[in-house]
Chain A
Amino acid sequence: MQRWNVGFNSLNGCIMRRLTVMLLILSVLLLSLGSKTDTLTEYQVRAAYLYNFVKFVKWPGSAFESDSQPIIIGLFSGNQVEEELQKIIRNRTIDSRSIAIRTLENPQDAAVCHVVYFGDIERRHQIATINLIRKKPILTISDAGYFCRIGGMIQFNIEDNKLGLAINRKAADAAQLEISAKLLRVAQIVE
């Protein structure tokens, strides 16, 4: 079952493919400047996927201080997905919990979050943050092609409007996060 269009064998190939996607998105953004169209931007798509991933994950009870505590999604400052995500989560709940976005300045800030999303350009924080929050019930998501290998839980990429998804189940299990089988079946499992 090959749903994953990005090869994990070659890191360089992955970077090249990511750059190609970035260039394509950049060109689309430039073309769409000044004229608002219905076409979804890459950030909108990523924000939507990010939101959808959260739907398929269950946190242990200890992850929340109270029943009313929102699911906190942490994004490092400067991440352009934040703005789109803000739009999506407005007035929406997941498992009866509202969703809040927290802008992270450094890896330590991620400890209070339930989800941390890393943009592919935030490579510098990824390893430090993952190491810091390892085994804590915090879902880590990134669109970096190597993310699972460095201990991240969900990595995805979008190519030709198709999703490539990989899940590090071991990391998720270690963090006591229960990822829905529905999501697992559409993803490549990385041990």
Chain B
Amino acid sequence: MFKLSEISLKRKLIALVVLVGGLALMLAFGSFLIYDRIHYKKQLVRDLEILAEMIGSNCSASLLFNIPSDAEEIISALEVHPNILSCRIFTIHGDTFAQYLRSDMEQEQMNNPLPLFQARSSDSLSIKSDSTWKLPVTLRNARFEENRLMVFHPIVLDREIIGAVALESDLTVVQDRFRKSLNAIILVMITTIVAMVLLTAKLQVLITKPIMYLSMLAKRVSNERDYSIRAKKNTKDEIGSLIDSFNDMLSQIEVRDNTIQETSKVLENQAKKLKKELKKRRQVERTIKHNLKEKDILMQEIHHRVKNNLQIVSSLLKLQLRSVSDPGTVTMFEDCHNRVYTMSLIHEQLYRSNDFSNINLSEYIQSLTKHLFHIYKDPGRQINLDINVEKVSLDLNTAIPSGLMINELVSNSLKYAFTDRMQGRIGISLTRADGGYEERTARSSLQTYVLCVEDDGKGLPAGLDISKADTLGLKLVYALTRQLHGEVRIENHHGTKTIITFNIQE
């Protein structure tokens, strides 16, 4: 699609000059044509009046002495005027004295001029007339009628009207002149417009050259990013001001560019430094990761070895147990064996898992109770175990005391709670307490856990104070609770319910 904005400045300038020039020419020539037409019509009227005057004068004698043939001979000379359609000479009485018709005219086509010139304002000529006067009052007149011009002129002799001449002319001369003028004007306009285009094409350089020069410079600056380029000023006009502004703008850009480049260099240096630092840190990170891996392996190895050692201890205790016959000693050895196994189970779980700091307590309790039920199994007794442990991970420092406490409490239940029955139930639960001992700080929070081991056995002796218990198992429970900064509470109602509450920092 044709877009004005896409046209070059040169073409716009040429188009503008041609448009304005063309319009001015059209206006001038149009005015000239109108003026010429009006003026030429007036001229035609004047010419026709003069012709009528001459005819009238020449025919005055013919008219006075009543010789129509002479008058007709005079007016027949109008043949040399091809635009004269007809001519009539009237007597003083208004009768046609003589007439001329152009060869191509018919009598019927000849207009009677008398009615046209009747009832006009009074004649300006103070001419004498007699009673026989029948000609129109106003004799000198001209009228344009349907592409015709009619002139009515008196024949005056010695200030006395003796008749009148009526001339009828077509307006072909006016139309011919108009056509010729129009043709000439079109020719002149075309020539002028061509000349304007050529001249403007040459002279537009005066205006467009500095602008094109500036445009070229701007493009060069854009392509080469060279802001040190300056335009040369040759004029003091608006273009000169534009060049000044352009140069000033370039200076400002150059200053900013330099600043940016300097800043860029500084930033580049900093980036390099940061890159180096990053590289160092990555190396450190790799080292740390490597060390961490080594540590994990080491930890795994340690836990493995600890577990193995504990199992060796456990096995030793078990071997030793075979040589002991005293039931009290057997029980002591079994308890020791279970406690060592409890600890070894934790280390086993730790080295089997990837996380060496936390123990999945649910899995651990499952394994532990399975072992305990295996140790203290009684073929005739049916003890059900309910474990309700939330998904909790505890660190080694909490897991080992917790495991030992569960070991002591479950062992105690299995050993003593159901001696007088064949069926029973042991329940283990570890739940998060809502509120209670929860204490939150800005950096970490303390979560209160409640460990509950219960059975529906015969219960502990009434009035038992765990802090003052004699048995090692309960002493251990109490001591381990204190180690966890917790509290222990025993409920003796339809069995034994030991509730241990402790806080863990998460």
Contacts and interface: CB of A to CB of B under 8 A. Distances in A.
B311 to A, nearest CB: 170
A55 B158 contact: yes
Interface stretch (A75-83, A116-124, A125-133, A180-188): A180-188
B57 A182 contact: yes
A64 interface: no
A173 interface: no
B278 interface: no
B158 A163 contact: no
Interface residues of A, number: 18
A180 B59 CA distance: 12
Given A3-B69, A162-B66, A186-B67, A94 B158 contact: yes
Contacts of A185: 58, 61, 70
B60 A182 contact: yes
Contacts of B70: 3, 185-186
A47 interface: no
A47 B345 CA distance: 177
Interface in B442-498: none
B67 A55 contact: no
Interface string A79-96: 000000000000011110
A182 B58 contact: yes
B65 interface: yes
B158 A186 contact: no
Contacts of A20: none
A163 B60 contact: no
Contacts of A162: 66-67
Interface string A55-72: 110000000000000000
B361 to A, nearest CB: 155
Contact of B64 (A55, A94, A95, A161): A55
Interface string B62-103: 101111011000000000000000000000000000000000
B125 to A, nearest CB: 16
Nearest to A93: B158
A55 B63 CA distance: 13
A165 B158 contact: no
Contacts of B253: none
B65 A163 contact: yes
Interface in B30-59: 57-58
12 contacts: A3-B67, A3-B69, A3-B70, A55-B157, A56-B61, A92-B128, A161-B66, A163-B65, A163-B66, A182-B60, A182-B61, A185-B61
Given A52-B65, A183-B61, A186-B65, 15 more contacts: A3-B67, A3-B69, A3-B70, A55-B64, A94-B158, A161-B66, A162-B66, A162-B67, A163-B66, A180-B61, A182-B60, A182-B61, A185-B70, A186-B67, A186-B70
Query: Lowest 5 A-B CB distances belong to which pairs?
Result: A182-B61, A163-B65, A52-B64, A186-B61, A183-B61
